[in-house]
């Protein structure tokens, strides 16, 4: 793997080049596909095209659009040329995209024609549309390219995270850090002989890191342009996918397609890797019933710290439900309590590994999230049990105080999800004149189940402390999702405030709802 010194030169030349690297469905009959050797040549041609236009080492080049083979090829070409790739979240508003382009100092933008049309920036563009005058086919310069040799601190990627407020933060990721991540995961052989399905967006670390790992593992990946529950199921059936990567809302939405599931074969699935949120017992049982032969992995990672944090227990012990596992042997982790003291049982997770980011790009307004010893302060609260397994409690930023009680949304969600009719819950805090803030809940029920808000409140009061019970409950068929396919808590908080304000104006405006 000598070429792995450059993150873009990750394709192995000692393995069959005629094997398919990516398959991307277009519709029920058509698909795009590319072999490893074709992708290798395409990446070289794109890198040569960039250099031919005078872009110097370290220049930023943006990519915008849905998942595509073109996006992958451009990413690799940018890196091979010694430039920095800036994947853009195409679901951001146009003005936010303009700010990111300015902040990153992007010198060129590759992308889908529809997305490029949204951007008014004078930055030159190259369209994925094969008929475009300024298209990718006309941009490339065919021929071999010696990948640029990066240094220990050479930047490879700028990933802009959505953040909780304000301008997205540019996360600086080096060739060395991401190369370490790929090589470390390769040692675990997690993708050996698998056919994986990628539906999460490539501007997000989850899908991006998985795509790089798939290339390094020399296996075929099925790449969906974007997530759709129906298309996700069809892709598993059509391409016999064996390894799935998803966030819990994606799987929950898939489970709401009983007719399609009944006529589809999912017997090929051997692994379901869930990230971004813990898998609750109800969802776990449903996945196990649907995919009885599949191993369900609850993973943890961040854009800033990477996906290598936890792994198997050194003594082979099985992790508790929802736990991402035991600390990886090449990663240092520790917990800090609210007073900043190291804790053995509960606190904010701090981690240190070669996979950490350099820092945030041009953000002197944000305190660097590193300790003096170089640990990354994740802001995620974890618990550690007697066997050394870690379990996610909640985001420090999500914690709220209600009547002097500290509440993490996940605590209320777990309480509600113990009810046999509840598939998934999302709890947010809204303002309250007496308590300061109070928990309210959006709840999705299992298919065919019925429940009232009052009955679920009574269940919460009977099975947990009174301060945890949601003061309002609304039932939904599906959750509002953010651009990363996670539940959009900010949108649900705004909707909750509006609902409560409306109910206050309407006496008898009940929080009770029924989902059949």
Instruction: Establish how many alpha carbons lie within 13 A of residue 66's alpha carbon, considering only the half-sphere containing its beta carbon.
Output: 14
Region at 206 (left for phi over 0; alpha for psi -120 to 50; beta for the rest): alpha
| 383 and 417 assigned to the same domain | no
SS3 for 64-87 is ECCCCHHHHHHHHHHHHCCCEEEE
3-state SS assignment for residue 24: strand
| 106 and 190 assigned to the same domain | yes
| 404 and 390 assigned to the same domain | no
Q: What is the pLDDT of residue 512?
A: 43
Residue 331 sits in a domain whose CATH number is 2.30.38.10
The two tokens of residue 19 are 């094997």
Q: Residue 103 falls within a domain, yes or no?
A: yes
| 349 and 450 assigned to the same domain | no
Q: What is the pLDDT of residue 88?
A: 96
Q: How many domains does the chain have?
A: 3
| 55 and 78 assigned to the same domain | yes
Strands 422-432 and 436-445: antiparallel
Q: Residue 164 falls within a domain, yes or no?
A: yes
- Where do we find the tokens 């050194």? 314
Q: What is the pLDDT of residue 400?
A: 82
Q: What is the pLDDT of residue 515?
A: 36
Q: What is the pLDDT of residue 507?
A: 56
Q: What is the pLDDT of residue 331?
A: 97
Q: What is the pLDDT of residue 347?
A: 93
Q: What is the pLDDT of residue 366?
A: 87
Cβ contacts of 286 within 8 Å, gap of 6 or more: 255, 423, 446
Rounded average pLDDT per 10-residue block, the chain, 516 residues: 73 94 92 97 98 97 97 98 96 91 97 95 94 92 96 96 74 97 95 95 93 97 95 96 88 88 95 79 84 90 94 93 93 91 92 96 92 94 95 84 78 89 90 81 90 93 87 89 77 88 63 38
> What is the number of helices (H) and of strands (E) in the chain?
14, 26
Length of the chain equals 516
| 387 and 411 assigned to the same domain | no
Last residue of a domain, one of 197, 226, 255: 226
Q: What is the pLDDT of residue 506?
A: 63
Q: What is the pLDDT of residue 280?
A: 73
| 16 and 98 assigned to the same domain | yes
Cβ contacts of 49 within 8 Å, gap of 6 or more: 77, 139, 140, 141
Domain that holds residue 342: 327-355+365-394
């Amino acid at each position: 793997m000598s070429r792995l010194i450059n993150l873009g030169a990750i394709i192995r030349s000692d393995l069959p080049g005629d094997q398919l690297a990516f398959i991307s469905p277009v519709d029920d009959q058509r698909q795009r596909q590319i072999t490893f050797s074709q992708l290798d040549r395409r990446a070289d041609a794109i890198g040569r095209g960039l250099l031919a236009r005078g872009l110097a080492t370290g220049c930023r080049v943006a990519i915008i659009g849905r998942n595509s083979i073109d996006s992958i090829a451009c990413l690799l070409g940018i890196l091979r040329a010694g430039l920095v790739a800036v994947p853009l979240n195409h679901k951001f508003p146009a003005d936010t995209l303009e700010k990111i382009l300015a902040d990153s100092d992007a010198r060129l933008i590759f992308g889908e024609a529809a997305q490029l049309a949204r951007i008014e920036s004078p930055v030159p563009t190259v369209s994925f549309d094969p008929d475009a005058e300024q298209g990718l086919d006309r941009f490339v310069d065919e021929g071999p390219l010696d990948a640029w040799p990066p240094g220990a601190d050479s930047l490879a990627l700028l990933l802009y995270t959505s953040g909780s407020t304000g301008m997205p933060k540019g996360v600086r990721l080096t060739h060395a850090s991401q190369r370490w991540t790929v090589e470390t995961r390769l040692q675990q052989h997690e993708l050996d002989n698998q056919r994986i399905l990628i539906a999460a967006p490539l501007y997000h670390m989850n899908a991006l890191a998985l795509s790089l790992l798939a290339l390094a593992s020399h296996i075929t990946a099925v790449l969906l342009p974007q997530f759709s529950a129906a298309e996700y199921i069809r892709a598993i059936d059509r391409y016999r996918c064996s390894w799935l990567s998803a966030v819990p809302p994606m799987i929950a939405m898939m489970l709401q397609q009983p007719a399609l599931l009944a006529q589809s074969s999912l017997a090929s699935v051997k692994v379901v890797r869930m990230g971004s949120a813990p898998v609750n017992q109800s969802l776990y049982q449903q996945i196990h019933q649907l995919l009885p032969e599949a191993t369900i992995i609850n993973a943890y990672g961040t854009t800033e710290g990477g996906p290598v944090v936890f792994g198997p227990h050194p003594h082979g012990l099985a992790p508790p439900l929802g736990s991402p596992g035991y600390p990886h042997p090449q990663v240092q982790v520790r917990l800090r309590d609210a007073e900043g003291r190291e804790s053995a049982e509960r606190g904010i997770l701090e981690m240190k590994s070669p996979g950490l980011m350099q820092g945030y790009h041009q953000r002197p307004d944000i305190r660097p999230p590193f300790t003096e010893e170089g640990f990354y302060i994740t802001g995620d609260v974890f618990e550690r049990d007697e066997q050394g397994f870690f379990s996610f409690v909640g985001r420090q930023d999500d914690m709220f105080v209600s009547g002097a009680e500290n509440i993490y949304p996940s605590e209320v969600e777990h309480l509600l999800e113990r009810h046999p009719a509840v598939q998934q819950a999302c709890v947010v805090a809204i303002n309250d004149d007496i308590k300061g803030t109070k928990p309210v809940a959006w709840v999705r029920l299992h298919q065919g189940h019925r429940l009232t808000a009052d009955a679920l409140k009574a269940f919460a009061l009977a099975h947990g402390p009174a301060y945890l019970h949601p003061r309002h409950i609304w039932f939904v068929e599906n959750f509002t999702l953010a651009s990363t396919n996670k539940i959009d808590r900010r949108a649900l908080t705004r909707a909750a405030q509006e609902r409560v304000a409306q109910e206050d104006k309407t006496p008898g405006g009940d929080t009770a709802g029924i989902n059949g």
